[in-house]
Chain A
Amino acid sequence: MLIIPCPYCGPRPELEFSYGGQAHVTRPTAASNPSPAEWNAFQYERANLKGLHAERWRHIHGCARFFNVVRDTTTDEILRSYRSGEK
């Protein structure tokens, strides 16, 4: 079980969290009239990479906040966690 450091609450067991997919995927606004390729990339294209992966987690059974984590997908080591909107 992963021990996930919530940037608001500190380290907590994975059971308290839900996974939110790849982080830093930019959602085009409707007003920007995105091309089909742009919208498709936002909707469906994900890195699915081996190695360092920035991903979203939500501390659903805690502070309920979304935040980001950098995890090594080969070892599950969590290198850092930070609030949404931060880099």
Chain B
Amino acid sequence: MKRVHMRSLRILQCAAVLAAGLAVSQEASADIYNDGKVLLTGGVFTVDGAGGGGAVPWATISGYETRDGINGSAAFTYVNLPALQVSFYGVNVGFWDRFELSYVDSRLSLNLPNLQTVALVASLADLDIGTEPWNSTLGMQTFGAKLRLFGDAVYTSDSWIPQVSIGGLYKKDRNEDLVKTLGGYKTKDYEIYLAATKIFFPISTLVNVTARYTSANEDGLTGFGACKNNGLGTGDCDNDRELRWEVSIAHLVAKNTAIGGEWQQHGNNTGGQSVNINGLNLTPIAGALANLGIDLGSALKQKNEGDWFDLFMAYAPNKNISFVVAYLMFGNISVAPDQNGFYFSTHLTF
């Protein structure tokens, strides 16, 4: 069963890459290939793969195609926070400014001394908790699709009606053991979002509001939902999805440069829990360590998950490439407090 599932995911993944490649090779034979959108109006590449800002998917369809054709893009994003680094590699394809398919592979490496201590202890105790001493990587694959429902974000300047799209994301964590260790319940799940985007030319500003139906922890990188530690190993798990809000505001200072900010509401599924080792309450281990003179009790308690905020600058010298730099304020992530840092993204459009 699991095998079959993996296989179908592989095929989907191949299809996404193939579709992107196809869009590129069409360049020569014109007609269906299209790059007729005005600079930056397709948005950039989110960490979810969907076209949008840095973290928030917009209602715009990614790529520079208009309703007359197809366009594809690829992106690389690197996030550097004190306790972790994340790389995102992704592709997406926009069809007739109507429909979008996307795929992203993300890798988050944790370098947490407190988690590493647990890893050391666990390896001594011969427990497989998905984290090895000095090497804890959380991988995730995200498959996405987005459909524009109605509206035109750019040209309907005489109406308040925005462009509205609906999108779906399917996310699958690679390191299931580590997700569980960090208190997450599901290691694969879907998210659904509705996004509304509009450019207000008189103030040179794009505004986007997105509502996302999800149970994700840190965008899914640390799983979905939570298992409360009851110390019995059976767990009290739930995966309650909820509606969370996201806002992007991008002010265009020139036709190729935008500055702005984003806010993404997060849940707090795992906050207050201590790290979960094979369903066992950590207390005994913490106790054992305490005997050795190491106090782990509070250091291994999951912090309350914070909402994500960022301030960004996007620069598109032409229709083939754009760059985004951002300052991220991500609050607490798992057992690491106050994660603020930098984001750098390159978006190639064909």
Q: Do A and B bind each other?
A: no
